[in-house]
């Protein structure tokens, strides 16, 4: 199974509508689908909040409809549940759901708080931020509640690009993603508001999506037939700053590569690290990944080293300074390489390499991959891996302790080890990203990049 198949599907608002439409075309009614969504919501509220007083706030669309259905089911379970509406239902299905509730409907603006707040104001149909009075009231109800649950999405975030359109939007404890995850559940800043996300399976088809969540890679342990080269040989092209290249090389070793060689190193590092000139490495067909960028520097020597790497036939991982030096001519050469390259820019490096791509992070990562013909990993607290064919993977938020010097070098070395063990460029970037995030969780607070490399074997263990 590739990294692609393993991850949970993520659907945009348009893809969700199309997937629902496929069910309707097959003879299902909107009401029947809403009944499933409402049942999933009622079960979630019952399981996570228990029989305490609950307020469900409903909007005019089908998100509100889900709320009415759940209210009726929870009342049947004996729960004390109240419903408040922002406006009367505007869809047939939502009207049908409100009729099924049949109980009192309070005015949203005047509704009193409850222990559990369920936000069914707006979901994928949100077209703009909440009006100030609505946002203020929602925030007050959330602040007074003990448990806050959002239906599909917290009302006030954009489904597809992760933007928060509403000031003062509460951070919910739980979000029930209906049918599938949406980009906003994983892209920041929206993802900061969703809390724990539970996917409610309502039977919509999800296989047509081009976007998935990063999943734990499945990696095999070496067998008796393996030797150091078959486990993966990594070359790291060092430069002016030996520490960063050493970190990348050490990470490649700790991520399971059987043989790691560093060029232009200043010596030092693990005794098992081999020091060899770049010229000797680029013609060595056993080298399954050549990482360039960490510690490369930006001087003329760095340019020469990059030119040598670009002229080699080894699968490349281009990071840090090498991304900055690459420029447009380098980018063109990358796309023509036989082995697909991997680029690992952070936002600043991305902006230099791809001037004029101003959009949300997901679209930027996809456009960068398409333009370069390489797999592009856009680093950040919500890292994205994009393939030139349009597929993309979003990583769940990584520990913020990763924001420290050298952690990017460790990521580069980890991905290089995955590439050298035989994974394709996309799977290698995904696997390395997962291991890196897990190593950060293992290393814990105040980690330094060295700790991260040291924690990689324990992260790797979870993938065997
Ligand atoms: N489509 C289905 O069959 C099912 C959908 N499910 C749930 O429905 C929502 C999406 O429903 P939809 O009716 O398309 O949109 P919303 O309920 O999110 O709201 C649309 C409604 O609100 C108006 N509107 C939009 N933004 C604002 C705003 N800022 N202020 C005021 N009004 C606004 C807009 O004009 C429309 O009238 C999905 O998330 C699921 O929860 C079910 O899961 C299954 C069936
Ligand atoms: K909602």
pLDDT at 5: 75
The number of the ligand nearest the C-alpha atom of 40 reads 1
| Any ligand 1 atom below 6 A from CB of 111 | no
* Gap from CA of 122 to ligand 1 centroid (Å): 5
- Return phi, psi of residue 46, to 5°: -60, -45
Write down the CATH superfamily of domain 3-213. Answer: YjeF N-terminal domain (3.40.50.10260)
Burial 238-255 (b: 16+ CB within 10 A, else e): bbbbbbbbbbbbbbbbbb
CB contact at 8 A, 430 and 393: yes
Helices (H), 105-189: 132-144
Long-range contacts of 191-195 (CB under 8 A, 24+ apart): 191/162, 191/382, 191/397, 192/397, 193/150, 193/154, 193/157, 193/164, 193/169, 194/150, 194/153, 194/154, 195/148, 195/150, 195/171
User: Can you tell me the ipTM of this complex?
Assistant: 0.97
| Any ligand 1 atom below 6 A from CB of 178 | yes
* Gap from CA of 192 to ligand 1 centroid (Å): 21
3 state DSSP class of 8: coil
Q: Which of 24, 124, 158, 201 to mutate to test the pocket of ligand 1 (most atoms within 8 A of CB)?
A: 124
Q: In 3D, which of 23, 56, 30, 26 has the Cα closest to residue 41?
A: 56
pLDDT at 464: 95
* Gap from CA of 152 to ligand 1 centroid (Å): 10
pLDDT at 12: 95
pLDDT at 208: 82
pLDDT at 150: 98
pLDDT at 300: 95
Q: Which of 28, 60, 61, 137 to mutate to test the pocket of ligand 1 (most atoms within 8 A of CB)?
A: 61
Domain residue ranges in the chain = 3-213, 233-461
List the structure tokens of 443. 């290393």
CB contact at 8 A, 410 and 459: no
The number of the ligand nearest the C-alpha atom of 128 reads 1
Length in residues, the chain:
464
Class of domain 233-461: alpha beta
pLDDT less than 70: residues of the chain? 1
Question: Taking the model in full, what pTM does it have?
Answer: 0.93
């Amino acid at each position: 199974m590739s990294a692609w198949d393993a991850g949970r599907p993520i659907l945009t608002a348009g893809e969700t509508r199309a997937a629902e439409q496929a069910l309707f075309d097959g003879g299902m009614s909107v009401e029947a689908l809403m009944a499933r969504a409402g049942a999933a919501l009622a079960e979630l509220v019952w399981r996570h909040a228990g029989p305490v007083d609950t307020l469900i706030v409903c909007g005019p669309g089908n998100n509100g409809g889900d709320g009415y259905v759940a209210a009726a089911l929870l009342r049947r379970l004996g729960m004390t549940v109240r419903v408040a509406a922002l406006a009367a239902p505007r869809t047939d299905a939502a009207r049908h759901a409100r009729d099924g509730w049949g109980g009192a409907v309070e005015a949203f603006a005047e509704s009193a708080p409850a222990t559990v707040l369920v936000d069914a104001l707006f979901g994928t149909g949100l077209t703009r931020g909440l009006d100030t009075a609505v946002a203020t009231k929602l925030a007050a109800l959330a602040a007074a509640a003990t448990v806050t649950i959002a239906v599909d999405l917290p009302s006030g975030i954009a489904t597809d690009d992760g933007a928060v359109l509403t000031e003062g939007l509460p951070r919910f404890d739980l979000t029930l993603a209906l049918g599938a995850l949406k980009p906003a559940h994983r892209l920041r800043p929206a993802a900061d508001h969703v809390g724990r996300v539970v996917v409610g399976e309502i039977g919509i088809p999800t296989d047509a999506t081009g976007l998935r969540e990063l999943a734990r890679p499945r990696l095999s342990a070496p067998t008796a037939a393996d030797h150091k080269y078959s486990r993966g040989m990594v070359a790291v092209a060092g430069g002016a700053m030996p520490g960063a290249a050493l970190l990348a090389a050490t990470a490649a070793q700790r991520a399971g590569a059987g043989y790691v060689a560093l060029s232009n190193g200043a010596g030092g590092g693990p005794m098992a690290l081999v020091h060899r000139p770049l010229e000797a490495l680029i013609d060595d067909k056993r080298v399954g990944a050549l990482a360039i960028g960490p510690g490369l520097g930006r001087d003329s020597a760095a340019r020469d080293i990059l030119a040598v790497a670009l002229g080699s036939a080894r699968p490349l991982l281009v990071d840090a300074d090498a991304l900055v030096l690459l420029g447009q001519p380098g980018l063109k050469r990358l796309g023509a390489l036989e082995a697909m390259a991997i680029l690992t820019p952070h936002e600043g490096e991305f902006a230099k390499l791809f001037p004029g791509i101003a959009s949300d992070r997901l679209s930027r990562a996809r456009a960068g991959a398409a333009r370069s013909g390489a797999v592009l990993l856009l680093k950040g607290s919500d890292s994205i891996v994009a393939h030139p064919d349009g597929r993309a993977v979003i990583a769940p938020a990584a520990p913020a302790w990763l924001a420290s010097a050298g952690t990017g070098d460790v990521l580069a070395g980890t991905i290089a080890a995955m590439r050298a063990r035989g994974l394709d460029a996309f799977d290698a970037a995904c696997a390395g990203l997962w291991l890196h995030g897990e190593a950060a969780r293992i290393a814990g607070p105040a980690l330094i990049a060295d700790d991260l490399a040291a924690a990689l074997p324990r992260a790797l263990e979870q993938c065997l």
